[in-house]
Structures are given as structure tokens and as C-alpha cells.
């Protein structure tokens, strides 16, 4: 199958680069931004990187950036639990803890984060009577989630990728929380791919595919709910994995080639110091920096940090992004240009 073959190529590509952490850092953040966009958040990938570099956001963006940061925290903690022998397996309790982190202190925080809903919800419309979809009543949610948990951990002749597709469709159909169901449901896919060892690292996320084909995504889910069209849904789901995995392989290759080329450019520049070379190696996981951030990253002085940044600016790697004379921010422009694809609002 094309989807499984594409996943195998992505897994191989991740093994062939010197540091998969470079790409894991970027792909997880891209997913957090795109998945949040689907729910109406307006923060961009650059907003997130700038926030992480400076530890603050513009006042108009703070709430949206915090939602994205919560998603990052939810991903990290959910993966840590699943990977640890003493951690929680993928389960109702595990998903509730992930949901609690996702919704903490942000829009929807008043809707009992981390707890299964105790009242009826609906999608679209102003009430259940005119809604596009009405999930199961609250008294049925617990039993349905238990059934989903058993399906995840029970024996099955279905290939894992198809099981992941059915799990996502069932979770979204149950819609167990008052808010945040879409983000938790998309995260569940990535967790299952790692849990069933389809990928060694979580480098594939379907949010970009769902964002590009949003109407088709909802139509396919409605087809499962209304007509039992599991075949149509799974065909769409597998196509998404094939497309996104193939794009991810291309992105990894492109970014690796860029880093290799820019490293040679930095090392051959006359103004490059050892500190500047060290800073360059940190850019893939810190593509936006301030002087203060460089001081902390390299455990150095402010004058030395300034010289290292200036050397990378001279080499054409870093670009000043604020236009200010003070509190300046610098970005690894070519790297960021490639990452930004698909993250536009």
C-alpha cells in the first residue's frame, strides 16, 4: 500500500540524518500551529518561534500563542507517558490528562478541562435541533470510550494504520469533551502511529492534510456516522498519510541539504568564530533568536553573543526581523521559509 510504503520511507529518512531532533522540533511545532488554526487560533509559526526566543508575545497574540504552547505541552506529556514503562498507556485517563494540559488557562478553560462532558454538545447550528451533528448523549460517553480503549489495546486482524483511522473517526464521533476534541483526536493519530511502531519518531501529522481538505474531511466523517461508509473514510485517511509522509520526506531532505550547504558557507566565512559555528549548529532547534537567547544557549557573554550573531548575519544565514535598533530578533530565514509552507492563516 502507498501509505505504508510512504511511512517506511519517512522512518528511513529520519534514520539517515545526523539529528532527527532538528526535524522533530520543527514538525511538532508546525503541527501545533496548524491543528490550532483548524480550531480558529490565529497565531502563526513565526509568532510561536518569536515567543519561544523572547519569552513573550505581542498583547494581541498572547492568548493564541498560549493555546499553541499548551498543545506542545500536551504532545510532549502524552508521548512521555506512552513511552515510559511506568507511564499511562493510551487510555481514557491518558487522554483526559492530555486534554487538561491542552485547555489549561486558555479559551474553553471553563469547560471542565480533563473531564468527560456531563451535558449534551453539538457541532454547527445553535442547538441540537439544527446542528450539523449531535454526538452521543453524555450517559453513553463513558461506555463508548471504554470500547474505544479496548479496540486500541485488543487483538485485531486489521493493519495498524487502518485501526488508527477507525480510532480517530470513533473518537470524533463520540466527541467526549466540551471543547478541544479536534486537537485531541488529531493528536491521538500520532500517538497511535508511535504506539504501534509505525514510526520511531512522531514526524507525521495529518492536520495539514485535513486543513487543505477540510470539507472533504467532515464529509467523510459524516459518511461514517450516517451511512457507515468506513471504506470511503479509510481511503481518504490513507491518502492523507501517503501525501503527508511523502511531503515530510521531501522536507527532511530539503532542510538537511540547506543545513549542510549553510554550514559550509559559515565555516568558510572569514568572520566565523568557534562561537558562531556553535550557534549555527543550534539554529535548527532555535530558528529565531535574540541576543539574550544566544547568551543563554551558549553560556557566554553579551559581546561574544553579538559577535556570533553578526558573523551569521554576514554569512547570509541569520536575518534581523524587527527593524529595531534594540531588542532585535534574528531568524534563520531560509530554514523558516521552508517550514512556513502550509502554516499560513
Q: Which pLDDT score, from 0 to 100, does residue 5 have? A: 94
3-state secondary structure of 135: coil
- Asked whether the predicted pLDDT for residue 125 surpasses 60, the reply is yes
Q: Give, in order, the Cα–Cα distances in Å from 79 to each of 146, 188, 278.
A: 21, 10, 29
How confident is the prediction for the chain on average, in pLDDT? 92
Of 40-49, 114-123, 275-284, the poorest mean pLDDT is in 40-49
Q: Which pLDDT score, from 0 to 100, does residue 16 have? A: 77
C-alpha cell at 248: 515530510
Identify the band that residue 59 occupies on the pLDDT scale cut at 50, 70 and 90. very low
**This prediction's pTM:** 0.91
Q: Which pLDDT score, from 0 to 100, does residue 40 have? A: 86
Identify the band that residue 20 occupies on the pLDDT scale cut at 50, 70 and 90. confident
Identify the band that residue 61 occupies on the pLDDT scale cut at 50, 70 and 90. low
What is the 8-class DSSP label of residue 138? H
User: Residues 43-52: what's their mean pLDDT?
Assistant: 89
Q: Give, in order, the Cα–Cα distances in Å from 52 to each of 35, 38, 69, 127, 203.
A: 18, 22, 9, 40, 21
DSSP states along 221-283: HHHHHHH--HHHHHHHHHHHHHHHHHHHHHHHHHHHHHHHHHHHHHHHSTT--HHHHHHHHHG
pLDDT (tens digit, 9 = 90+) per residue, 62-93? Answer: 788 999 999 999 999 999 999 999 999 999 99
Q: Which pLDDT score, from 0 to 100, does residue 105 have? A: 85
Contact in structure between 221 and 169 (CB atoms under 8 Å): yes
- Percentage of the chain lying above the pLDDT 90 cut: 76
Alpha-helical (H) ranges within 55-159 are 62-83, 92-103, 138-153
Q: Give, in order, the Cα–Cα distances in Å from 283 to each of 207, 242, 263, 271, 287.
A: 25, 29, 11, 18, 5
Distance CA 306, CA 137 (A): 60
Domains of the chain from N-terminus onward: 32-246 (1.10.3290.10), 269-339 (1.10.10.10)
3-state secondary structure of 123: strand
User: Residues 18-26: what's their mean pLDDT?
Assistant: 81
User: Residues 298-318: what's their mean pLDDT?
Assistant: 96
Residue 162, φ and ψ in degrees, nearest 5: -70, -35
Range of 53-62, 115-124, 316-325 with top mean pLDDT: 115-124
Identify the band that residue 54 occupies on the pLDDT scale cut at 50, 70 and 90. confident
Amino acid at each position: 500500500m502507498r501509505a505504508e510504503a510512504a511511512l517506511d520511507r519517512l522512518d528511513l529518512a529520519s534514520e539517515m540524518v545526523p539529528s532527527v531532533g532538528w526535524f522533530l522540533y520543527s514538525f511538532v511545532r508546525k503541527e501545533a500551529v496548524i491543528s490550532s488554526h483548524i480550531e480558529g487560533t490565529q497565531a502563526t509559526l513565526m509568532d510561536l518561534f518569536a515567543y519561544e526566543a523572547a519569552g513573550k508575545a505581542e498583547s494581541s497574540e498572547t492568548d493564541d500563542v498560549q493555546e499553541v504552547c499548551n498543545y506542545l505541552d500536551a504532545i510532549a506529556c502524552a508521548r512521555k507517558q506512552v513511552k515510559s514503562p511506568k507511564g499511562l498507556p493510551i487510555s481514557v485517563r491518558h487522554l483526559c490528562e492530555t486534554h487538561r494540559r491542552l485547555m489549561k488557562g486558555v479559551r474553553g478553560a471553563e469547560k471542565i478541562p480533563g473531564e468527560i462532558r456531563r451535558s449534551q454538545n453539538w457541532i454547527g447550528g445553535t442547538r441540537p435541533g439544527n446542528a450539523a451533528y449531535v454526538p452521543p448523549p453524555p450517559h453513553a460517553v463513558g461506555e463508548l470510550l471504554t470500547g474505544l480503549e479496548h479496540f486500541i489495546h485488543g487483538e485485531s486482524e486489521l493493519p495498524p494504520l487502518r485501526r488508527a483511522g477507525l480510532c480517530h473517526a470513533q473518537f470524533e464521533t463520540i466527541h467526549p469533551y466540551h471543547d478541544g476534541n479536534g486537537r485531541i483526536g488529531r493528536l491521538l493519530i500520532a500517538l497511535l502511529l508511535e504506539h504501534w511502531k509505525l514510526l520511531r519518531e512522531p514526524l507525521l501529522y495529518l492536520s495539514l492534510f485535513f486543513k487543505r481538505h477540510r470539507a472533504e474531511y467532515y464529509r467523510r466523517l459524516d459518511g461514517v456516522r450516517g451511512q457507515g461508509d468506513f471504506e470511503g473514510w479509510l481511503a481518504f485517511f490513507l491518502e492523507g498519510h501517503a501525501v503527508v509522509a511523502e511531503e515530510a520526506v521531501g522536507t527532511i531532505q530539503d532542510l538537511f541539504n540547506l543545513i549542510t550547504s549553510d554550514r559550509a558557507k559559515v565555516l568558510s566565512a572569514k568572520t566565523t568564530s568557534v562561537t558562531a559555528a556553535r550557534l549555527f549548529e543550534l539554529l535548527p532547534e532555535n530558528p529565531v533568536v535574540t541576543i539574550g537567547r544566544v547568551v543563554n544557549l551558549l553560556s557566554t557573554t553579551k559581546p561574544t553573543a553579538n559577535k556570533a550573531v553578526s558573523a551569521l548575519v554576514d554569512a547570509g544565514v541569520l536575518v534581523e526581523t524587527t527593524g529595531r535598533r534594540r531588542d532585535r530578533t534574528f531568524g534563520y530565514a531560509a530554514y523558516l521559509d521552508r517550514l512556513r509552507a502550509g502554516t499560513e492563516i
